[in-house]
Amino acid sequence: MRKTIHVLILGFLLFPQNAPGRDTLNNTGIISTETVIFNFERNLDSLMNLWYVRLSTGNSHLMRDIRADNKQMPVVIPDFPDSVYIERISRIPTIMDLSYNNNVRNFINVYTRQRRDLVEVMLGLSEYYFPKFGEVLDLYGLPYELMYLPVVESALNPRAVSRAGASGIWQFMYGTARMYGLTINSLVDERLDPYASTHAAARYLSDLYDTFGDWNLALAAYNCGPGNVRRAIRRSGGKSDYWEIFYFLPRETRGYVPAFIAATYAMNYYSDYGLTPRKVDIPHLTDTIVVNRELHLKQVAEVLDIPLQLVRDLNPQYRRDIIPATEKGLTLRLPFDYSPDFVEVQDSIFAYRKEELLAREKITARPVTNTFVPSPPPGTTALNYTVKTGDNLGYIAEWYDVRAQDLRNWNNIRGSLIRAGQNLVVYVPADKADYYKVINEMTFAEKQARTGVSATTAGRTDVVPATGDGTGYIYYTVRPGDTLWGIARSFSGVTENQIIQLNGLSTAGRIYPGQQLKIKRAGSR
């Protein structure tokens, strides 16, 4: 049975402009959406470089043709009152809570007014991607409206890469991607594979919903991580509605759910704004071939006479155009009409220019130095924090009320490894610099006390004593994003190896959300 959609008109009572500890709304009553819009537009601009997005006639750039068309055929964009938006959203058949407010309307204007030309390109791509997303969502029993999430995440660009390092059409970070079974190595990055990454995204979203029991909270956690959502819930006094914890979430996440609701609206009602899906040169019918031997995409393109860029865009997961040899095999996606030809002449394809294209010296890359220097967020002051023994990025982020990913970006850290004595720069609100400055001199227990977290369990609210055995063990339920290292650091006197041995784990990386780990209580023999 369809769940009743709650349509909320949120005004000053829900979003007070001068609430302490909250960001102030601008003079229109709308939260700033600059970061989300910036990511959206950057991904759209990157989308223009895909072969199948360009026009099939000539070499003209798609944007030039779109702008020319728009000049020749001006469109009058209708304006609707709030009551129309509310009524239309209520007619979308969904089990998700699609609320309407000024923030949602702001994003609707982005999709239907400000970037109409490029949204029409996405509408064209949606005819290719949405049926495939829908099949996977149906397989996992998830709401079909989640197919609109990549509109916000990547603008349907399978090669989208965020400044934080999230990649692909579903924007997976490295650790989360590996946790959900995606292959990432020097030659293959399945985050860029629209098919493999959709299955991983469906599993991740399902786990997030199981964790929070609310789709808006699950979406927020998908954007900023479940830890940030739990922290927002805790700081709000235990409230479990997205809009009630709105101001306790990271700034970018506040625009994320409104952007998703607006994308859902725009994808359903685009024709009411004179938007028309643009034809893109992408084969709607494709076929996959399992390849066990090493293969270069140029071998396929030149023997079968397919444009190399099309083969690349259908197989974006192969970083250097090489499909490595594996025992289980990897997939090669081709236009449907070409798959019989591949099977028929595959021996010739594998032999073609093999020594030239697959020579070791041809595929060896020089290391690339990361020269990205982030700009300080506006209105902030830089503080220095010296890493102490026992610290990790998660703790430090908690103490300074920032995201761990921000700490990585500000300090050019890849992964989560930090060392005692290392100096980190942390950007805090300028008017609260004195409040945060003293953290560097506090003990671990004092810093934990400021966040209301026990120093022994470090915020692990799901740790419960073992019952009935009297052995002094406790049990921890693995959450999305957890690592054995992070779990071990959360308990006094516990190491990774102890957890591995006690639970019979074969390797330090093989844990999964929902798994229960047995941990020896401090002081037990």
- Long-range pairs, 307-311, Cβ under 8 A, ≥24: 307/51, 309/51, 310/51, 310/52, 310/283, 310/335
Residue 200 has phi, psi (to 5 degrees) of -65, -40
Residue 266 within any structural domain of the chain: yes
- How far is Cα 446 from Cα 283, in angstroms, rounded to an integer? 60
pLDDT at 469: 45
- How far is Cα 123 from Cα 118, in angstroms, rounded to an integer? 9
The neighbouring-strand residues paired with 382 are 427
**Separation in Å, CA 197 to CA 19, 123, 135, 177, 233:** 40, 21, 13, 8, 29
List the catalytic residues: 153
Q: DSSP letters of 200-264?
A: HHHHHHHHHHHHHS-HHHHHHHHHH-HHHHHHHHHHTTS---GGGSGGGS-HHHHHHHHHHHHHH
Residue 20 within any structural domain of the chain: no
Kindly state whether residues 128 and 215 are assigned to the same domain.
yes
- How far is Cα 187 from Cα 183, in angstroms, rounded to an integer? 10
Residue 10 within any structural domain of the chain: no
- How far is Cα 295 from Cα 321, in angstroms, rounded to an integer? 8
Neighbour-count burial for 6-34, b at 16+ CB within 10 Å, e otherwise? ebeebeeeebeeeeeeeeebeeeebbbbe
CA 206 to chain CA centroid, nearest Å: 14
Kindly state whether residues 340 and 205 are assigned to the same domain.
no
> Which carries the bigger pLDDT value, residue 510 or residue 224?
224
pLDDT exceeds cutoff 50 at 55:
no
Residue 512 within any structural domain of the chain: yes
Q: Which residue's structure tokens are 């609109």?
A: 148
| % residues pLDDT > 70 (the chain) | 74
pLDDT at 164: 75
Residue 456 within any structural domain of the chain: no
Which segment of 7-21, 156-170, 345-359, 434-448 scores lowest on mean pLDDT? 7-21
The answer to whether 509 touches 470, Cβ cutoff 8 Å, is: no
**Separation in Å, CA 134 to CA 126, 223, 505:** 11, 21, 36
How does residue 50 score in pLDDT terms, banded at 50, 70 and 90? low
Number of domains in the chain: 4
| % residues pLDDT > 90 (the chain) | 42
pLDDT exceeds cutoff 50 at 5:
no
- How far is Cα 321 from Cα 315, in angstroms, rounded to an integer? 9
Kindly state whether residues 389 and 305 are assigned to the same domain.
no
Kindly state whether residues 146 and 197 are assigned to the same domain.
yes
- Which of 273, 297, 316 terminates a domain? The answer is 273
Range of the domain at 350: 286-362
Kindly state whether residues 351 and 421 are assigned to the same domain.
no
Kindly state whether residues 413 and 472 are assigned to the same domain.
no
- Which of 273, 299, 330 terminates a domain? The answer is 273
How does residue 380 score in pLDDT terms, banded at 50, 70 and 90? confident
pTM: 0.63
Please write the tens of the pLDDT for every residue from 95-141. Answer: 999 999 988 998 999 899 888 888 888 899 998 899 999 999 999 99
The neighbouring-strand residues paired with 331 are 290
pLDDT exceeds cutoff 60 at 411:
yes
CA dihedral 47, 50, 56, 59 (to 10 degrees): 90
What is the maximum span of the chain, computed from C-alpha positions, in angstroms?
A: 81
pLDDT at 284: 80
How does residue 367 score in pLDDT terms, banded at 50, 70 and 90? low
The neighbouring-strand residues paired with 55 are none
Kindly state whether residues 315 and 351 are assigned to the same domain.
yes
Q: List CB contacts of 157: < 8 A, sequence separation 6 or more.
A: 43, 44, 46, 47, 50, 169
Please write the tens of the pLDDT for every residue from 430-485. Answer: 888 889 999 999 988 888 778 665 444 443 433 333 333 455 677 777 776 667 77
- Which of 419, 450, 481 terminates a domain? The answer is 450
Residue 14 within any structural domain of the chain: no
Fill in the amino acid letter for 81. P
- How many other C-beta atoms are found inside a 10 Å radius of the C-beta of residue 447? 22
pLDDT exceeds cutoff 50 at 8:
no
pLDDT at 46: 57
3-state SS, residue 285: coil
- The residue among 60, 204, 233 whose CA lies nearest residue 142 is 204
Please write the tens of the pLDDT for every residue from 171-193. Answer: 999 999 999 999 999 999 999 99
Kindly state whether residues 213 and 70 are assigned to the same domain.
yes
Please write the tens of the pLDDT for every residue from 69-98. Answer: 444 455 678 889 999 999 999 999 999 999
Q: List CB contacts of 182: < 8 A, sequence separation 6 or more.
A: 172, 190, 191, 193, 196, 197, 200
CATH code for the domain of 106? 1.10.530.10
Interaxial angle between packed helices 404-411 and 393-400, expressed in degrees from 0 to 180 and rounded to the nearest 10:
100
Kindly state whether residues 38 and 78 are assigned to the same domain.
yes
Residue 8 within any structural domain of the chain: no
pLDDT exceeds cutoff 70 at 280:
yes
Fill in the amino acid letter for 129. Y
pLDDT exceeds cutoff 50 at 13:
no
Q: Which tokens sit at 147?
A: 């197919």
Kindly state whether residues 294 and 243 are assigned to the same domain.
no
Residue 118 within any structural domain of the chain: yes
Kindly state whether residues 259 and 352 are assigned to the same domain.
no
CATH code for the domain of 515? 3.10.350.10
Residue 520 has phi, psi (to 5 degrees) of -75, 125
Kindly state whether residues 243 and 139 are assigned to the same domain.
yes
pLDDT at 388: 86
pLDDT at 49: 53
Across the chain, what does the average pLDDT equal?
A: 78
Characterise 414 by phi-psi region: left (phi > 0), alpha (psi -120 to 50), beta (else).
beta
